[in-house]
Structure 1
Amino acid sequence: MLEKIKLALRIDDDILDEEIQDSIDAAKADLKLSGILESKIVETDPLIIRAIKTFCKVEFSTDDKEAERYRNSYEMLKDHLALSIDYTVEVIA
C-alpha cells in the first residue's frame, strides 16, 4: 500500500515513508471508527484504496483549496462506505 500511496502523492524517495505510513494507518483507523469492518479494510478493495489515497492527499497537500476538495471527497466516500451493508455487516455463512 505504501508504494501505491507514494505514487498517488507523486513522491519517489523514501525520506517520508514513515510519515506516509502513519497517514495510511490513520486512514484505516478513521474508516474503522466510521463503522467499516476491519475485515473489509483491505488493500485489494478499490474503494478502500481510493479512500486511503484521498485521505493521504489531504494530509500532504500544500494548497488549502485542494486539501479541502480532497477532504470533502474523502468524507463523502467514507460516508458512502459506512452506509453500505457490504462494508458494515459481517456475513455469516
Structure 2
Amino acid sequence: MTHVQDIRTALRISGTALDDEIQDTIDAAVLDLKTAGVDKGDVDALTGMAVRLYARWQFDYRGKGEEYHRAYESLKAVLSMCEEYRGGGGYE
C-alpha cells in the first residue's frame, strides 16, 4: 500500500504541508483504478506504481504531467485487462 511518505519521496517533497492533498490524491488514484475494474486497490508493486504515476500526473511533476498521465492510463488499461487484478485470483 502506498503511503503519503512514499508519494512525498516520489515527488521529491520534503515538507508535510501537502500531506492532506497527497492523501486525497492516493485515494483518488485507488478509486480511479477501481472504476476501471481493478478491484485489488493498491496492494503490490504494479498498483503502487500506478498510484505514483497518478500523483506525478496530478502534481505535474517536473512539468511532465501529460507524460505521466499517458503512462498512468496505459498501466491502468493493462491492469484492468489482467484477471489477477479483476478479482480472478492470484497475487493475494
Q: 1:6 matched to which residue of 2?
A: 8
Instruction: Report the equivalent of 2:42.
Output: 42
Is 1:17 aligned to 2:31, yes or no? no
Question: Is 2:56 the counterpart of 1:30?
Answer: no
1:12, distance to aligned residue in structure 2 (A): 1.0
**After the TM superposition, which parts of structure 1 deviate over 3 Å for at least 4 consecutive aligned residues?**
none
Of Structure 1 and Structure 2, the greater helix share is in 1
* Aligned Cα root-mean-square deviation (Å): 1.2
Superposition TM-score, scaled by structure 2 size: 0.88
1:24 Cα deviation after fit: 0.4
Q: How many residues align?
A: 86
Question: Over residues 36-87 of structure 1, what are the superposed CA-to-partner deviations in whole Å (9 max), with x where a residue is unaligned?
Answer: 11xx2134x0000100000000111162xx1110000000000000000010
Q: Which sections of structure 1, spanning at least 5 residues, go unmatched?
A: none
TM-score scaled by length of structure 1: 0.87
- Aligned partners of 2:32, 2:8: CA distance in 1, in Å? 20
Percent identity over the alignment is 37
Q: Which residue of 2 aligns with 1:69?
A: 67
